[in-house]
């Protein structure tokens, strides 16, 4: 479980920091595409953390793997249906 | 920097500070503020709020995970059910006119005001959960779906449901329940936000302005390390929620 926590925590920190940096850079450089990328990164950060947990849970044959993968698939399906 | 940045940043700042200090999600304040005073359509306000919740969850969870406060097993399992609810509600929100959504939001504000009122030893949700005779796993999963639905539909985190369930039904200590809920609401909000984003119901500049404000506003609570439980402040906040509920009710009736 500690391995899952480390993966999730690292993903959150990296993605969150990138998201904020991208938004600030976009505002400073007047690049709206950077701002959009930052918002997308922020929304993707929890998914990246969950994907990290899913990966390590699959490798460890943990019972959490189906829940983590299921949540990612439901989110992807929701995005496809919303388009 | 656009002219709309500062007001939206200020709304995020106030919501982040109050939410962090009082232990309620910023969404309860961000959505009404953006919809009533920011002039944004309700669905755009909801999507902006969901991005803010992602941001506060990401920053809070990173700390909680490093200190091993998150019960990841419970979080991942219940998160699946919350995501199902959030995605379904996010899709459904595209079909629901604003009037009923304003009224539902007002009802949620009234419920939260009741939870915050100092004279109530325990809120309605705690009392219901304590007296239920259903299986604990079923209650937790069902309530998680409910938390996902209110998150995807109304742009709030769902912590008002998650924390009591994790504490009273799953038996986690309160501090651990709060940390686990903080982690869970990020994924739930992300699932809902991505549905709004894919449908084109998100104004990215508004969402990011509020998000930066929320992140900065949450710093005092993070530095303080604990929430303010002062009776007067809780009562003032409950009254603020009641006032906003009345405004949302009025707007909801006007939208019909």
Q: What is the pLDDT of residue B76?
A: 94
Nearest CA in chain A to B197: A79
Token pair of A41 as six digits:
């990164």
> Of chain B residues 149-188, which have a CB less than 8 A from chain A?
183, 186-187
Residues B4, B209 contacting (CB under 8 angstroms): yes
Give the C-alpha separation, B71 to B79, whole Å. 12
* Chain B residues with beta carbon closer than 8 angstroms to that of A27: 1, 5
User: Is the model more confident about A80 or about B133?
Assistant: A80
pLDDT tens by residue, B236-248 = 778 888 999 999 9
Average pLDDT value for chain B: 86
Asked if B60 is an interface residue toward chain A (Cβ–Cβ < 8 A), one would say no
**Is residue B226 over pLDDT 80?**
no
| DSSP at B24 | S
Sequence-distant (6+) residues with CB within 8 A of B28 are B19, B108, B109, B112, B156, B241
Q: What is the pTM of this model?
A: 0.90
Distance of CA B249 to the CA centre of its chain: 19
Q: What is the pLDDT of residue B230?
A: 64
> Of chain A residues 15-54, which have a CB less than 8 A from chain B?
15-16, 19-20, 23-24, 27, 32, 35-36, 38-40, 42-47, 49-50, 53
CA A80 to chain B, closest CA, distance in angstroms equals 8
Residue whose C-alpha is closest to residue B83's, from B114, B108, B50: B50
A81 pLDDT band, cuts 50/70/90, is very high
Long-range contacts of A64-69 (CB under 8 A, 24+ apart): A64/A4, A64/B72, A64/B73, A64/B76, A64/B77, A67/B76, A67/B77, A67/B79, A67/B80, A68/B76, A68/B80
What are the angstrom distances between the C-alpha of B139 and each of B132, B136, B165? Answer: 9, 5, 8
Whether residue A43 and residue B193 make contact (CB cut-off 8 A), yes or no, is yes
Q: What is the pLDDT of residue B232?
A: 72
CA A59 to chain B, closest CA, distance in angstroms equals 16
State the best of B6, B49, B65, B75 to mutate against chain A, taking most chain A CBs within 10 Å.
B65
Token pair of B194 as six digits:
């991505």
What are the angstrom distances between the C-alpha of B232 and each of B108, B118, B119, B143, B236? Answer: 22, 8, 11, 31, 6
Proportion of chain B above pLDDT 90, given as a percent: 44
Sequence-distant (6+) residues with CB within 8 A of B134 are none
pLDDT tens by residue, B77-109 = 999 999 999 999 999 998 999 999 999 999 988
pLDDT tens by residue, B171-201 = 888 889 888 998 999 999 999 999 999 999 9
Where does residue B111 rank: exposed (0-12), middle (13-18), buried (19+ CB within 10 A)?
middle
Neighbours of B137 (CB within 10 A): 12
Token pair of B164 as six digits:
């009591």
Which of B77, B194, B202 lies nearest to residue A79, judging by beta carbons? B194
The reply to whether ipTM tops 0.90 is yes
Helices B174-199 and A32-59: crossing angle in degrees, nearest 10, is: 130
Q: What is the pLDDT of residue B118?
A: 64
pLDDT tens by residue, A8-34 = 888 899 999 999 999 999 999 989 999
User: Is the model more confident about B21 or about A73?
Assistant: A73
Of A41-45, B147-151, B217-221, the poorest mean pLDDT is in B217-221
């Amino acid at each position: 479980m500690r391995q899952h926590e480390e993966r999730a925590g690292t993903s959150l920190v990296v993605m969150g920091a990138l998201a904020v940096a991208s938004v600030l850079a976009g505002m400073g450089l007047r690049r709206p595409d950077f701002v959009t990328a930052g918002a997308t990164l922020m929304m993707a950060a929890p998914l990246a953390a969950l994907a990290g947990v899913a990966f390590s849970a699959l490798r460890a044959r943990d019972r959490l793997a189906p829940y983590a993968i299921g949540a990612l698939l439901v989110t992807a399906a929701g995005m496809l249906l919303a388009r | 920097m656009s002219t709309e940045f500062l007001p939206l940043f200020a709304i995020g700042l106030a919501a982040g500070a109050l939410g962090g200090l009082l232990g309620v999600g910023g969404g309860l304040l961000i959505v009404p503020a953006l919809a009533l005073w920011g002039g944004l359509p309700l669905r755009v306000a909801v999507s902006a709020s969901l991005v803010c919740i992602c941001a506060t969850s990401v920053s809070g969870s990173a700390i909680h995970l490093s200190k091993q406060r998150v019960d990841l097993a419970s979080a991942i399992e219940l998160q699946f059910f919350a995501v199902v609810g959030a995605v379904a509600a996010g899709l459904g929100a595209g079909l629901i006119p604003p009037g009923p959504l304003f009224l539902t939001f007002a009802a949620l504000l009234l419920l939260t005001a009741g939870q915050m009122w100092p004279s109530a030893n325990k809120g309605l949700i705690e009392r219901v959960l304590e007296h239920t005779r259903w299986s604990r796993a079923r209650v937790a999963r069902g309530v998680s779906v409910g938390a996902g639905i209110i998150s995807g539909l109304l742009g709030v985190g769902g912590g008002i449901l998650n924390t009591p369930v994790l504490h009273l039904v799953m038996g986690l200590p309160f501090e651990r329940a709060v940390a686990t809920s903080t982690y869970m609401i990020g994924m739930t909000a992300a699932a809902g936000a991505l549905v709004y984003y894919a449908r084109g119901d998100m104004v990215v500049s508004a969402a990011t302005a509020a998000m930066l404000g929320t992140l900065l506003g949450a710093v005092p609570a993070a530095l303080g390390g604990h929430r303010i439980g002062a009776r007067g402040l809780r009562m003032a906040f409950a009254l603020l929620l009641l006032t906003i509920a009345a405004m949302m009710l009025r707007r909801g009736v006007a939208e019909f």
